[in-house]
Amino acid sequence: MIFRINNLRSKFIVVCLLPLLWLCVDIAFDNLGSNPVQALHIRLGDWSLRFLCLTLAITPIQTITKWRGMADYRQLFGLYAFFYASLHLLGYLLADHALMWRIIGIDIIESPYIWFGVLAYGIIFLLALTSPKWAKKRMGKTWKKLHRLIYIAAVAAIIHYFWQLKGNLAEPLFYSIIVFLLLGFRVLVWVKNRQLTKMMIPTGQRVLALAEKQGVIQEAPRKQR
């Protein structure tokens, strides 16, 4: 039997909504402790960050396992990261400040940790907006460049997490290690590719030069490239 992850996609769409359901149950049964709004913010922020990590994990998984059809999951998880980040933002605007924009403005200006949240959300918002396949086709090379901003979003989200805390840094540290590893994988691949290209071009030239010298070919076919 052939393992076909594509069939699982529809199930994943539902599974990814479970954290929201779980949160709703906790709100309904007053399970969020003495400071329910803070708990709500942490819960939604955590899930957004988790989905962001999952999104970043797809490419390394694909590279290592050589599984096909993972790009759809990258899109799915990315959109869920956006979904939970949007709820996280709504929670801040509604539960904390009841949409009082002047107060929200002051709060953002006075709270540098929120600047990084705004940056991360702005990026994820743009990525979600350009996530449909037709947008990808239309944007061409720009799409890939734009979607590389996810690395900046991930780092900004981590800073956002760290900077609102006073003492316990264990949890954000856990996520920063994950993000560091996932970004580190890209750097490794990039360095490896660069080394390969560096090594390959001179080798190719040397082969051609040798062939020319020995009179195997008259002229190196460089212009054909």
In the complex with other proteins, the residue whose CB is nearer, 118 or 191, is 118
Residues in contact with other proteins by CB under 8 A are 27, 32-38, 40, 91, 95-98, 100, 103, 106-107, 109-114, 163-164, 166-168, 170
Least Å distance, CB 85 to other proteins, is 18
Least Å distance, CB 51 to other proteins, is 22
In the complex with other proteins, the residue whose CB is nearer, 137 or 166, is 166
In the complex with other proteins, the residue whose CB is nearer, 40 or 56, is 40
Least Å distance, CB 81 to other proteins, is 22
Least Å distance, CB 30 to other proteins, is 9
In the complex with other proteins, the residue whose CB is nearer, 17 or 95, is 95
Least Å distance, CB 83 to other proteins, is 19
In the complex with other proteins, the residue whose CB is nearer, 60 or 91, is 91
In the complex with other proteins, the residue whose CB is nearer, 21 or 209, is 21
Evaluate whether 172 touches 46 at the Cβ level (below 8 Å): no
Q: 110 φ, ψ to 5°?
A: -85, -5
Which whole-number Å values give the CA distances from 30 to 33, 82, 182, in the listed order?
7, 26, 36
Least Å distance, CB 123 to other proteins, is 21
